[in-house]
Chain A
Amino acid sequence: MFWMKKKNVSYYLLLILLLLWIGISLVRTFYNLSKLGIEERKWYFLTDEEKREMQFGDRHRFFRFVQVYTKKGSNILFYTHDGMAYYWGRYYLYPTTVIWGENQYVHWGDDINRNYEYVMIYPLNRGKQLKDVFFFENVAYKKLVEYKIGNSVKGVIYKK
């Protein structure tokens, strides 16, 4: 009798779980499909460039700006408190190499080329005073261009 009870418990428990699982899967499948007609619609008729802008926002615009003002294949020292901006910049700008200013000695030690043609800072902390000349290891870098949104300066590029 006990055996029958145990059998029944396992039977009903598994049956309920299985039906619930199938139900959840069905609902989610149709929910996903419904997204194609609602929230995904905004992506359909955009170019890849517009999609990147929508995806990465201001970071995308900044790195496109960097591509315009720096030489392809150069070596840039990049100061940022935004880890995503660093790694995205590294991917985006290649073959230009980008070394993370704050972490360069911890992360790379002596394993990299430290002959930088440019220094860039992005995003800038609010209210931070920008110098016209930036020094790194006794090398002077002059301000090349500021990246602005409206009147506010969001980033800056210095050139050796």
Chain B
Amino acid sequence: MSFFLIVLTILVIISAGFLVIELLGFLKESSLFEKLSFSWGLGFGLIGLQLFFYHLLNIEWNRLSILFPWISLFILYIQKNKPYFPKMTPRLQSREKIFVTLILLLVLFVGFESTLRPVQAWDAWDNWLFRSKVFYHHNTIDQYYFHYAQDEYPLIIPLVGTFGYIMMGQINDRLILLLFFMFYLCLGGLFFGTARRLFNTQKALLFTFLLLSLQNLIRHGGRFEVGQADLALSYYIFAGMILLASFIKRKSKKAAFLLSVFLGISGQIKYDGMAFVMIVTLISFFSIIEWKRYRYVFLLLPTFLLLIPWQLYKVFNHLPENFLFRSGINIHIERVATVILFMSKEFFSIKNWNLLWIVFFVCLIFYWRRSEKAKLFLVVLFLQWLSYFVIFLMTPTDPATHIENIIDKLYIHLAPIAMLIIAINLSQFLDNSNLLKHKLKLS
């Protein structure tokens, strides 16, 4: 029964996102596959925020009160649209079939592993699922919790965990992990959808397989560390990046609005996402200024409208300050060499990343002048990396230990963007190499 209810929870989350996308006419050019992948993140964020606003408005959390708005949207949607069943008749070549099989095997493996054991990750019982448990127990956001746990972390992930418990009618910290596996699945979906627009199916499948087979992603999607916020943030950063690229390319208002909502959610997944929010907002802002379409600035407002309530909530309820800033902001310049050394070491961890980072740097060396398409992705990736670098210059703990403890998780945030940059470069390389072979044969 609990398994059925957690699957139902997943369907509710995807449906919530899908209804908003369809009713507001977002992602018109995207395939159903891409829309569903975006729907997961949008639904997840909106339901988390819904529980937070219910708490602020003193509305009780129960299945009916939470599902009511979504059921209303669903009725509105079926009144406006006739249900349609897209024809799924993919014609795959034999190599493509092999990659599809490999990807499916990976997804099944990670999904199975995610619920094989009860929660075992430190991050979960120290933070994310601990809060889900506390809020479920009190059926609201308990104020004493913040003082008891000395915690001021954002609430979307724990609140969606609580939503899962409300749907199941009990705390089940094994099945709830399926929610985190969904980020693995939908990240793969988003990546394939994007790659499919840029390259042919075979290349898109190859690079999706290479992304989903990264050991660190597999572990956080279902095995030891069990994802929690880092894989989720990786998904949101990648989704935000795609929407930013789409906004800049098409100057589309709808892409800007959806991007802004995704940024508002990303900043409340984990604080590491705040740097990304700032970077992308600034890029969007300068692009708008350059285009002289000043009214577009209003489209960036949802980010702030979604972020400000939580910031005000922290102030009004005297929540403890983040441990990084408790003793003021101190940048230790003398740590630069140590931080660079320890942050760079992770790039060579084949155990975690296979050859992702090595190929990434080789691609940069040989192709950086010609990777026009990848420039935007490269800038964001570098600035996000720089934000982690600055944090390690500021951290009140020993930087080497701090880096070693969390660097693999931070690079998860960047991995899908790095993979897309590699895919763009290698795709050119594969095309050019065919041409080169041809020239060599002629000479």
User: A and B: partners?
Assistant: yes
Interface residues of A (CB under 8 A from B): 7-8, 10-11, 13-15, 17-18, 20-22, 24-26, 28-29, 32-33, 36, 40, 43-44, 48, 51-52, 55, 84, 87-88, 90-92, 94-95, 97, 107-108, 111-113
Interface residues of B (CB under 8 A from A): 102, 105-106, 109, 112-113, 116-118, 120, 122, 125-126, 129-130, 133-134, 137, 144, 147-150, 174, 206, 209-210, 213, 215, 218, 320, 350, 354-356, 358-359, 362-363, 366, 426, 429, 433, 436
Give complex CA distance A25, B211 in Å: 9
A108: contacting residue among B106, B113, B150, B206, CB under 8 A = B150
Given known contacts A22-B210, A29-B102, A33-B105, is B174 in contact with A48 (CB within 8 Å)?
Answer: yes
Give complex CA distance A95, B129 in Å: 14
* Chain A contacts for B105, CB-based, 8 A: 29, 33
Give complex CA distance A52, B122 in Å: 14
* Chain A contacts for B120, CB-based, 8 A: 55
* A29, A84, A107, most chain B CB atoms within 10 A: A29
* Chain A contacts for B218, CB-based, 8 A: 32
The prevalent SS among residues of B at the interface is helix
Give complex CA distance A7, B134 in Å: 60
B130-A91 in contact (CB<8A):
yes
* Chain B contacts for A15, CB-based, 8 A: 433
A7-B436 in contact (CB<8A):
yes
Given known contacts A14-B366, A107-B150, A112-B147, is B355 in contact with A21 (CB within 8 Å)?
Answer: yes
B126: contacting residue among A7, A33, A36, A91, CB under 8 A = A91
B147-A111 in contact (CB<8A):
yes
A17: contacting residue among B122, B125, B209, B355, CB under 8 A = B355
B112-A25 in contact (CB<8A):
no
B354-A25 in contact (CB<8A):
yes
Give complex CA distance A91, B363 in Å: 45
Show 20 residue pairs from A and B whose CB-CB distance is below 8 angstroms, ordered by the A residue: A20-B355, A21-B210, A22-B210, A25-B209, A26-B102, A29-B102, A32-B106, A32-B109, A33-B109, A55-B117, A84-B122, A87-B122, A90-B125, A90-B130, A90-B149, A91-B125, A91-B133, A95-B137, A97-B148, A111-B320
A14: contacting residue among B117, B134, B429, CB under 8 A = B429
* Chain A contacts for B363, CB-based, 8 A: 14
Instruction: Determine the residue in chain B with the shortest Cβ distance to A43.
Output: B116
* Chain B contacts for A28, CB-based, 8 A: 213, 215, 354
